[in-house]
Amino acid sequence: MQHLTPKQAYEFLQSNPEAIFVDVRSEMEHMFVGSPKDSMLIPWVDGPEWDINPHFVAHVKKAASQNRPVVLICRSGRRSMDAGQALEQAGFTEVYNVTHGFEGDLDDSHHRNSHNGWRFDGLPWGQT
């Protein structure tokens, strides 16, 4: 798995239109916090039990072939890394994790969006 900063991921997606961009956050995060433009929601972990989605790999396979690059994003880059490992174990060969994710790392006051992440970098996003 390769790791890209949000700006690198955006540039990669712009120069590789065959790549798919998967938001692995929960449906609630996607709905209430917003999402990167042109991403598709396939939760890695979701409610109500907050277990790993047993259909995650199958849904990604359906959205893309194993020959297409897959770029994964979550809130901070941790869940997307776990999801990427599952995709690699399933045979995906070109998997990218967006470091710092959509909202970025926590600052000293335990807030996000203050020093890194997709939104902090001013990359395209919106509310659904």
SS3 of 32-43: the string is: HHCEECCCEECC
What is the pLDDT at residue 109?
85
What CATH code is assigned to 2-46+67-123? 3.40.250.10
Dig out the tokens for 8 from the structure: 């690198």
Residue 25 neighbours by CB under 8 Å, 6+ apart = 33, 35, 41, 43, 44, 73, 74, 75, 79, 102
What is the pLDDT at residue 112?
86
Dig out the tokens for 66 from the structure: 């194993």
pLDDT (tens, 9 = 90+) of the chain, 128 residues, equals 999 999 999 999 999 999 999 999 999 999 999 999 999 999 999 988 899 999 999 999 999 876 899 999 999 999 999 999 999 999 999 999 999 999 998 888 888 888 899 999 999 999 87
What is the pLDDT at residue 66?
67
Q: Can you give the pTM of this predicted structure?
A: 0.95
